[in-house]
């Protein structure tokens, strides 16, 4: 899909992978709605790229509905949805204080998995009503999974489950929405230098980078955005989950 003048929504667009993706989409000519709970940061990114900032809690029905409507009002119905909103909470199933609170597990599932599905169902409902482009395509969705869906570590039970759900739902949804000319994909990033990792001491960052075979460094959010662009651009790519992890799964023990 050619992005010039096309409307796009990026959730979690105020920082990290989402902000890098919003910037790249805008650079390619898209009209971008930056959706995030952090309104101030979303406004900063939106001003920079000439987009619109929308406060959105992806896990809440009313908030997500309002965000999709506000984006459509500003730019027209979106043909592109990039799901980057998510949280990462590390907690053991059984810790020093006993079992993990069920609410902690539920919160991660609600934001990461249900939130991604919530935005997808709403955005694609509107995409399905659009006139097809020359190649018959009506829209593209790219969600953010994680290598934790395949190689989860201790403390990542909730996070891995949420990202595994994104991996599992990508293909059946792609098959279902093919009738409308809507493609559905996902990216499973490895260790990226997002604000979460940037908060760690340099020694910890270096240790994580050393676990990556090649290139021996943390991923740059711009590299995630580049893969998003390739997915949006290639009309024959559908239903896939692509690992973007510099062969992290092959890291020496």
Catalytic residue numbers, as ranges: 159
Q: What whole-number distance in Å separates Cα of residue 125 and Cα of residue 104?
A: 31
For residue 73, say if its preceding peptide bond is cis, omega within 30 degrees of 0.
no
Residues whose CB falls within 8 Å of the CB of residue 9, separated by 6 or more in sequence, listed in order: 32, 33, 35, 67, 68, 71, 78, 80, 81, 82, 119, 123
> In degrees, to the nearest 5, what angle opens at C-alpha 94 toward C-alphas 88 and 99?
90
Which residues pair with residue 95 across a beta bridge?
A: 98
């Amino acid at each position: 899909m050619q992005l010039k003048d096309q409307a796009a929504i990026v959730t979690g667009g105020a920082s990290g992978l989402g902000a890098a993706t919003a910037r790249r989409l805008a650079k390619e000519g898209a009209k971008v709605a930056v959706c995030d709970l952090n309104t101030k940061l979303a406004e900063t990114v939106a001003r920079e790229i000439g987009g619109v900032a929308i406060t959105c809690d992806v896990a809440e029905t009313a908030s997500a509905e309002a965000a999709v409507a506000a984006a459509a009002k500003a730019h027209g119905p979106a043909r592109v949805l990039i799901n980057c909103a998510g949280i990462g909470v590390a907690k053991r199933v059984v810790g020093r204080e006993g079992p993990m609170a069920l609410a902690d597990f539920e919160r991660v599932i609600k934001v990461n998995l249900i939130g991604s599905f919530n935005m997808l169902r709403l955005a694609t409902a509107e995409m399905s009503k659009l006139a097809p482009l020359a190649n018959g395509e009506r829209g593209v969705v790219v969600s953010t999974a994680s290598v934790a869906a395949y190689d989860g570590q201790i403390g990542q039970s909730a996070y891995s489950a949420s990202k595994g759900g994104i991996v599992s739902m990508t293909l059946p949804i792609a098959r279902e929405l093919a009738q409308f000319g809507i493609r559905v994909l996902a990216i499973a990033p490895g260790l990226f230098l997002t604000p979460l990792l940037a908060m760690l001491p340099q020694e910890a960052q270096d240790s994580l980078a050393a676990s990556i075979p090649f290139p021996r460094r943390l991923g740059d959010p711009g590299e995630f955005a580049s893969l998003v662009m390739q997915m949006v651009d290639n009309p024959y790519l559908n239903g896939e989950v692509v690992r973007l992890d510099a062969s992290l799964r092959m890291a020496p023990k």
